[in-house]
Amino acid sequence: MKILVTGAAGFIGSHLSEKLLEEGHTVVGVDNFDPFYDRSLKEANLETSKKNERFSFYENDICDAAFWAGFSESGIDAVIHMAAKAGVRPSMQQPLAYNMANIIGTNHVLEFAKTRKIPKVVFASSSSVYGVNKNLPWSTDDKDLQPISVYAFSKQSGEKLCELYHNYFGVKIVALRFFTVIGPRQRPDLAINKFVKAILNGDKVTLFGTGSTFRDYTFVGDVVKGIIGALHFDNANFEIFNIGNTHTVSLLELVHIIEDLVGNKADIEFQPEQQGDVPYTWSNIEKSTRLLGYEPSTDIRDGIAQFIQWLKARA
């Protein structure tokens, strides 16, 4: 297959591109190197893929209508739309930028797929759309979505756009709600990345709240398997799946795991909870297992160990 991957230079997108190439597919990557974090990290993410003759790359913004109008790649069999402005807290300070990238940008991608009659689109959504839903673990059958950040709203809006493009234009679309993703190349703004660096260097570890909040952490390799399962899912309907790990870990437990792996004690500083943060995430993946063959196999300790190994190799 020839697959267009937006956000190909990102944490998940770069792992995905490498796996698709490994499986023999042709990958067309698009990324605008959003300055949310250092460009050099994203360029490093692309190094392996760029060595493959079946990989081509375009540095462009998905919100640029002129780019899509002049996009010359033909014969694309599927689009995996990973590109987005990421981060819950920053979205509360930059709501217009987040809605532009994550809603208008997604609309451009869907319009491209419709116009080119591309058979399949996989859309990267987020567990943040569940918000403060108390019906744990979260199931895609539950329609009580309560997003509490602009980022979450933008992802829910992206899902609604996908559903509309399926219902009215017949585009086959699978939306995947990712839970907190861990592993090598994790974004520097995320907790594990920050905590590992702080504990290694003897710096303060800032915890927002009491440390009792909990998350469903999912290894990036398992997430990639879920995306590829969705790519091959043969169903004419618009479908939504959870891509999580079904096991939750509290913030304090997370710190203790890192302490053990690093061999240093954390200097913890507690701060008030942050606007837009949800108190918990927890995925029900029964539907994903049954229909996509999705079975996460890497636990959080192993996932963090692989991240630490990657981080030290870059030092």
Structural domains in the chain (count): 1
Active-site entry in 151, 165, 217, 280: 151
Per-residue confidence (pLDDT) for residue 284, from 0 to 100: 98
Per-residue confidence (pLDDT) for residue 315, from 0 to 100: 76
Per-residue confidence (pLDDT) for residue 275, from 0 to 100: 75
Task: Tell which residue, 172, 143, 258, 164, has the closest CA to residue 211.
Answer: 258
Residue with tokens 């592993």: 183
Per-residue confidence (pLDDT) for residue 237, from 0 to 100: 86
Q: The domain that contains 166 carries what CATH number? A: 3.40.50.720
Per-residue confidence (pLDDT) for residue 278, from 0 to 100: 87
Per-residue confidence (pLDDT) for residue 274, from 0 to 100: 81
Per-residue confidence (pLDDT) for residue 197, from 0 to 100: 96
Q: Tell me, yes or no, whether 234 lies in a domain.
A: yes
Q: How far apart are CA 82 and CA 311, in angstroms?
A: 23
pTM attached to this predicted model = 0.96
Q: Tell me, yes or no, whether 163 lies in a domain.
A: yes
> If DSSP codes are grouped into helix, strand and coil, which group holds residue 278?
coil
Q: Tell me, yes or no, whether 267 lies in a domain.
A: no
Q: What is the Cα Rg of the chain in Å?
A: 19
User: Is 280 one of the catalytic residues?
Assistant: no
Q: Tell me, yes or no, whether 92 lies in a domain.
A: yes
Cβ–Cβ < 8 Å for 195, 204? no
pLDDT in tens, 114-143: 999 999 999 999 999 999 999 999 999 999
Cis? peptide before 137, omega within 30° of 0: yes
Q: Tell me, yes or no, whether 224 lies in a domain.
A: yes
Q: Tell me, yes or no, whether 310 lies in a domain.
A: no
Residues of the chain with pLDDT under 70: none
Q: Tell me, yes or no, whether 44 lies in a domain.
A: yes
Per-residue confidence (pLDDT) for residue 214, from 0 to 100: 94
Q: Tell me, yes or no, whether 176 lies in a domain.
A: yes
Boundaries of domain holding 293: 2-181+219-244+283-297
Q: How far apart are CA 85 and CA 97, in angstroms?
A: 8
Residue with tokens 């940008």: 105
| Residues 6+ positions from 195 with CB-CB distance below 8 Å | 205, 254, 255, 258, 266
Q: How far apart are CA 302 and CA 294, in angstroms?
A: 19
